[in-house]
A = this chain, B = another copy of it.
Amino acid sequence: MAAAEGPESLVVVHNVAKRHNVGTMARSATAFGVSEIVLVGRRDFNAFGSHGSTTHLRFRHFHSLSQARLYLKARPAPSAARNLGHPLLPEERDCDICGVEITDGAVSVTQHPFRKSTAFLLGNEGMGLSAKECEICDFFVYIPQYGGGTSSLNVTVAASIVLHHFGGFPERSREGNKFTLAEKPVKQTRRNYCAEPVESIIEDRKSRRENASRDFFDDNRTDSTESTNSLAELFSG
């Protein structure tokens, strides 16, 4: 996980189609100091390829892109609200949301266009970012290509290159020919499934009631079978 001070990087994955990509993505994410993986839509994932690194990462789940954006863009609250100790205050991420996509206005990642904590939104494999996904982004980066044998990179490879460039953290110590592995810090209630602490589930339920119209039904339809066993359902009963 990244150092507590300084800009953080997050990864946002919306309905990732090939679930085994999340495992390799998690391995790169922890290597490059990502503080959190945000799953939107599908809540389950396949940790194959993670080499155990999913236990070192914080996962968070949102049903819709707009909910994820609210969370990622939340700014520090006024001190009065802080002092009340409001239990539903979201964490203050205050992130830029950066789409990883070859759009017209996209900046090459080699130009390091990052100014503060950044959440990287990755496209569904094959399709790239959809119009709805692009809507929540503040800007876009792309990775220059030189050869003509493929029109795009594997999504995990693309994410890894971008996270590698974001960098700026102190380099990890080594033991022989490997970087030092940390002790496993994060307990997850169920493997390969994103559970959340109680307060975020309450918040999520409240938010879902308030936004129960367009976004929930647009973004969440494909998720209905997966979410029936989720903690959110248990708590809303």
> Which residues from chain A sit less than 8 Å from chain B, CB to CB?
1-2, 24, 26-34, 49-53, 55-57, 101-103, 128, 143-154, 156-157, 160-161, 164, 167, 169-172, 174-175, 177-182
Contacts and interface: CB of A to CB of B under 8 A. Distances in A.
Contacts of A56: 147-150
A19 to B, nearest CB: 15
5 nearest A-B residue pairs (beta carbon)? A30-B149, A56-B149, A148-B182, A33-B146, A146-B169
A4 B190 CA distance: 53
A210 to B, nearest CB: 34
A144 B161 contact: no
A171 B149 CA distance: 13
Given A27-B154, A154-B24, A154-B28, A146 B160 contact: no
A143 B31 CA distance: 10
A128 B145 CA distance: 27
Given A128-B177, A160-B157, A182 B31 contact: no
A171 B58 CA distance: 36
A152 B179 contact: yes
13 contacts: A1-B148, A27-B153, A28-B153, A28-B157, A33-B147, A50-B150, A128-B178, A148-B182, A150-B181, A151-B175, A151-B180, A152-B179, A160-B160
